[in-house]
Every structure is written in structure tokens, then in C-alpha cells.
Structure 1
Amino acid sequence: MNGMRVVVVCGGESAEREVSLASGRSVAAALLELGHEVVLVDPAAGEPVLAGPLRPGEAVDGADGVAVGKEPPSLAGQARARERVHAALTGGPVLELLRGADLVFLALHGGWGEDGHVQALLETAGVRFTGADSAACAAAWHKGRAQAVLGAAGLPVPERVLWRPGAEEMPSAVRRLVTAGPVVAKPVAEGSSVSVHRAASPPELERAAAEAAAAGSGVELMVEPFLPGREFTVAVLGGETLPVVEIELTTPLFDYAAKYQPGAVNEVCPAHVPDDFADRLRGLASRAHRALGFGPGTYSRTDFRCDAAGEPMCLEVNALPGLTAGSLLPRAADGAGWTYADLIRRLVDLAGPA
């Protein structure tokens, strides 16, 4: 494995851009520690090569901590950013750089980086990359369709209703859910808990829906009952499940601000739960990983929340979970006794030989 030329792709055009830039710099530093030559690329940037080629012993600017804001960045320029991503990955010097690498490490989160677009472009170009293929990413990205697949595979999922506010009035099924008790509304295709809202009444949900509709045309929401129990996440690397992480919240929801602001939540790994319950969560995560088409050379992170009776429900499966110093996958790796560099080495190994 030593001595490879690795291009780390980060940034991108999604609401998780800042998180991805932080992940990319952390990954690049770990790869240098492992003895690789690294180039850091943001295909959405006007100047896509952020750093490199860097060689072992050299430093990555910002690797010790890139600030992630309390709010996700504006998507006002997303269309232009996507044009740049497409251009960079389909021709010119960036594509040649990717083709000349021994491995492309995808540190993208959200948007085209996680919905299968980038993976499909790299597959077409014959480029070897880390993580799941385009089909598995697409299957996991749309939360509504992913939950339908998981439910059909026998995994416990909450009731859900899809709603496109602005294009239609509140559906009767949505009104029934919010009348029965608090609900959570979130975009069906977004990550890092961007634009997640809790609503306890139809008017409150209408306001949240109006806010989502104002953020972008055609936003589709998934509305599901608010689950009041404990929250957990489990990572799967190839055929291995990592220790369970419990997310202890000081707020009702694990939203974007809570995820990326130090001290906002307490992440406990291994979680303080009975062994049989931990085994159950890990088994469910492994089944979810396989049900959505994640193969043995891939990794994922499955999120759970418990209902009032303490029964875990599968909320979603993340195809490219965060790799910042404070992200949940590195936290699970730490719980397994791995260093951050150990985790990155294992993710590289999953991609197989060049």
C-alpha cells in the first residue's frame, strides 16, 4: 500500500461543502502519515487543486481543524458549482490528474458527491475510488426510497409520508401524523441533518415547510413521527461492524449545528447499552448495508433512533459519512481502538489493489 499517488476529492457543491473540506484536509494529512503522495482537489472550486502534490513529511494547511459554521453554506451558487464539478470530472487537467492517480479518495458529502453522480462519472472514466459505487449511493441517498427498501428487507423503519410543499397542499396523511403527535420533517435528499425541523402542530409544520420551499425550488420533504428515545449510529466497513456510538443530545434533534459545534452533544463509544442490544444494532446496520447494495469493498454508517418503547428504528444509511476529527465514523474507530490513520488505511484497503 505504501507509496501510492492518491488524489483526495473534497468540497463539492452541496450544503455539506464546509464539512467536506474539513474531511478532505484531515484525510490528506493521514495519507501523508501513511507514506503516500497526496493531491487535494475541490472540483467545484475555480482553482480546483487546493494543495499538492504533497509528499510524506509535508503538512496540509488547515488539517488541525477547519472551522465548520453553525449554518450550512448558501446554495445560491449551486448550479454554477455543479457545472464546474461536471467539467472538472469529464475533461481537462483535473480528469487527467484523477486518471493518473493510483487511487481517488472521495471525501465528499452530500449532493453529487453522495447521490451517485460523481461515482458514475469516475466509473465512466475508469478511475479507482474509495467507497460505494454509483448504484449503492443512489439507493441510499433518497431517504424515502431507501426506507422503503429497508422496510421491504424486514428492517424496522418509522412511518413516513413524502410531501413537496409549494407544489401541493399538506397531504391528509401528513396532517394525520402531525395531529397525532410531534413529527420530524427533513429533505429526502440532503445530509448532515440540513434543514431538519421538529413540529408539534399543523401550523408549525406549515412554517417549516414554507422555510424548506423557500430554500430551493422543488424541495421534497419526508415527514415521520418524532421518536423520543435514544439515538445511535453504527458504521460498517466491509464485513466488519464498529462499536455502537450513542449520541446524547441536549436538543430535541441532532441537527447541523449540533453535529459540528464542539460540545453541543456527547458522543459515547462504545455506547452504554447491554451487549445483546449493541449486537442487535450492529446486526441491523449490517443488514441495512447489504440491503441497499453496499458491497464488501465499501463502508457506510446507519443511524437509529428509538421509539417510546425503546425499540430502534432505522432512519437512514450514509454512503460517505463525515471524516472530520469530530465526525461519528472516526469516533467509532476510536472506540474500536484505532487511530485516525488506522481508519483511513482501512478505507484505502477496502478499495482493493490497484
Structure 2
Amino acid sequence: MKVGVIMGGVSSEREVSLATGKEMMTHLDRNKYEIIPIDIKKKEDLLIRAAGIDVALLALHGSFGEDGTVQGTLETMGIPYTGCSLLSSALCMDKDLSKKILRYEGLHTPDWVLLREVDEIHGARVAALGYPLVVKPNAGGSSIGVTLVRDENSLRQAVQTALSFGDEVLVEAYIDGEEITCGMLNGKHLPILTIKPNGEFFDYTSKYEPGQSDERIAAFAPELAERIREAAEKSWRAMKCTVYARVDMMLKDGIPYILEVNTLPGMTRTSLLPQSALAAGISFPELLDAIIEGSLSARPDMNPGGASSRHRQQAG
């Protein structure tokens, strides 16, 4: 089976994506797969370089990766891809929309305001949130452009920084609690991890520099652990996720607050999902196998032996 590892991309998370892609290639079973690295440096590269592969293993992050754009392109090409669908990817990439859906489903998520201009920081809705605040691009990941703000003097600069990564900014109430994450693989929970960053919050450095955060398997009481798993599963279903995703939360007073649902979580050597899978007895190669096999099962009309593949063979 020809597995194209799609990485790089055109977003601010390009370097993280390259690290994810390289780690995936290191751990893919070469007895099972013919591995084809595909570094996307401009959007047109996908149309040219992905032709002929049997499945696209997505290692992309950020826009033109996690937002459904690549997924839609691959669907038009008849090439199956790993992870969540076009719709789910687009929903989860938009933090404002995600939080509206999660809250509608009765899940807890920090209060927030969506801004499009810096001067909107003076509005009553922002003032009502109080301090501290977390300011982040509405569509982005890897904590790029994210700032923890403790006073009004810092808020303007934080919003300006976030706006440099997109047209919309999420200003979110800070939950002073324990950061946790729960991975989902083919509809089943992976062990919950607790995260203790060395810095003020789980920022880019904490995520990708070895030794900058302490991540451990959670040892919660059974009732609390079940509450967290239920929140993760309900989020997974609400956002129409398939194959795999990671649900990030803050835990305060026994209540899990959903921060976001990550449809293409990092897969570097310091990333959370591989750590969680390993705790469940799933090695990195086995995790990649499960992602590929689960993705092909989720898209039977697009798999290498399915209708889309036969159509490509007949067309060729």
C-alpha cells in the first residue's frame, strides 16, 4: 500500500507539521507500506504529488490542513485520507463555532468573546469576562499566537498578536485548574493525561521542547475519571469526529471545561496522543496502523479496493 505522508503545509504550524511527518515516517511499518513523503510548500503541490497514492496519512496542522481544505481536495481526487472528515475538521478548526456547539450540547467550556478588531476590547462583553484572559487566534493550534493576559494594558498587544495569525480572535476566560487531555481512537477512550507545564500555561515551548512540561497518566477517582471520559466522548460525537482526535480540557472543582477538540493532534516525540496510546499498550507503529485502518473503514467507498479506487484504475 502506498502511503503518502502529507506534511509541511502553508500555515504558521509548518515546522510542527514537518516534525510530525518525520516521526510518522520513522514509525511506519515498512514491511506493510511503501512510504512516500509529500512536503507541501504551496497548495498546488497536493494535486501534483498526491496522485497515485493509496492513502494520505495527514501530518498537517493549521490552515490548509486541519480546516477541511485538504480533506476536500483529497475527496475530489478520490484519495482516502486519515482522521476526521471535511465537516468535522472545519467545525473543530473554528473555536468560536466549536464552543457554541459544545455549549448547546450541555458541555462546559470557558466563557468567551469573538473579536475582529483591536478596538473591540473595550466592549462590555470583554469586561464581563474579567482577568486573567486567554487570547488566541480563532483558527489555529500549537499555541501559536496565544497569550495569557492579566490586565488591560496587555490585552491590546495580545489581540494584535493573535490577529497577525488570522482575521478573528478568541478572548476566553481563564480557568485556573488542572490541564488534562483525553484522546479518542476509533471511538474508544485512551488514558487521560495530566499536563503540568513549566511556564504559565501549556504554550508552544511546553508542547514541543523536551522537558518543558510534565505529562503523566491521570490517577483520578473512578467517578471523576468517568465524568472526564463522558465529556470527551460527548465532544467527539457533537463535533462529528471519526478515527482519532484529542479533547483538551481544564479541570476545576471536578468539572471538565472543554478547551478544544483537536482533529489532527501532534505526533512528534513529545506529543500527547502517542504517549496516551503507549499507556494503553499501543506502540507508535500500532497507533499508525489503527489510524490508517480506521480511516479506510470510515471511508469504504474511497479505500484502495473500493469504488473510487476502481474508478481511478478504469480511468487510467
> TM above 0.5, one fold?
yes
* 1:277 and 2:224 aligned: yes
Where does residue 133 of structure 2 map in the other structure? Answer: 183
Letter matched to residue 293 of structure 1:
K
Could you tell me how far 1:294 is from its partner in structure 2? 1.4
CA contact (8 A) 2:60 2:264 kept: yes
Letter matched to residue 237 of structure 2:
R
Query: For 1:133, which of 85, 101, 112 is the aligned residue?
Result: 85
Q: For 1:1-354, what aligned pairs fall within 5 Å after superposition?
A: 4-44=1-41, 84-85=42-43, 87-90=44-47, 92=48, 94=49, 98-166=50-118, 168=120, 170-178=122-130, 181-213=131-163, 215-216=164-165, 219-269=167-217, 271-295=218-242, 298-307=243-252, 309-352=253-296, 354=304
CA–CA separation in structure 2 for the residues paired with 1:135 and 1:211: 28
CA contact (8 A) 1:12 1:43 kept: yes
Could you tell me how far 1:168 is from its partner in structure 2? 4.1
Q: Deviations over 1:187-222 (max 9, x none)?
A: 110001111111122122122123333x35x53211
Q: Deviations over 1:89-134 (max 9, x none)?
A: 33x4x1xxx2322211111111110001100111111111111111
CA contact (8 A) 1:289 1:317 kept: yes
CA–CA separation in structure 1 for the residues paired with 2:65 and 2:193: 25
CA contact (8 A) 2:129 2:173 kept: yes
Could you tell me how far 1:164 is from its partner in structure 2? 1.8
CA–CA separation in structure 1 for the residues paired with 2:65 and 2:210: 25
CA–CA separation in structure 2 for the residues paired with 1:133 and 1:243: 24
CA contact (8 A) 1:163 1:170 kept: no
RMSD: 1.6
Letter matched to residue 132 of structure 2:
P
> In percent, how many aligned pairs have the same letter?
37
Cα 1:34–1:282 shift into 2, 3 Å: farther
Letter matched to residue 37 of structure 1:
E
Structure with the higher fraction of residues in strand conformation: 2
CA contact (8 A) 2:56 2:80 kept: yes
Could you tell me how far 1:293 is from its partner in structure 2? 1.2
Could you tell me how far 1:169 is from its partner in structure 2? 5.1
Where does residue 310 of structure 2 map in the other structure? Answer: none
Could you tell me how far 1:34 is from its partner in structure 2? 4.9
Structure 2: segments with no counterpart, 5+ residues = 297-302, 305-316
CA–CA separation in structure 2 for the residues paired with 1:275 and 1:199: 35
TM-score, structure 2 as length reference: 0.90
The residue matched to 1:139 in structure 2 has which SS?
Answer: helix
The residue matched to 1:105 in structure 2 has which SS?
Answer: strand
Letter matched to residue 105 of structure 1:
L
Tell me whether 274-283 or 223-232 shows the greater mean CA deviation. Answer: 274-283
Letter matched to residue 182 of structure 2:
V
Equivalent pairs, count: 298
CA–CA separation in structure 1 for the residues paired with 2:63 and 2:103: 24
Letter matched to residue 187 of structure 1:
P
Q: Deviations over 1:293-334 (max 9, x none)?
A: 113xx2110000023x34210010001000111101001011
TM-score, structure 1 as length reference: 0.81
CA contact (8 A) 1:230 1:310 kept: no
Q: Deviations over 1:146-198 (max 9, x none)?
A: 010011111111111111234645322112213xx311111110001111111
CA–CA separation in structure 1 for the residues paired with 2:247 and 2:139: 16
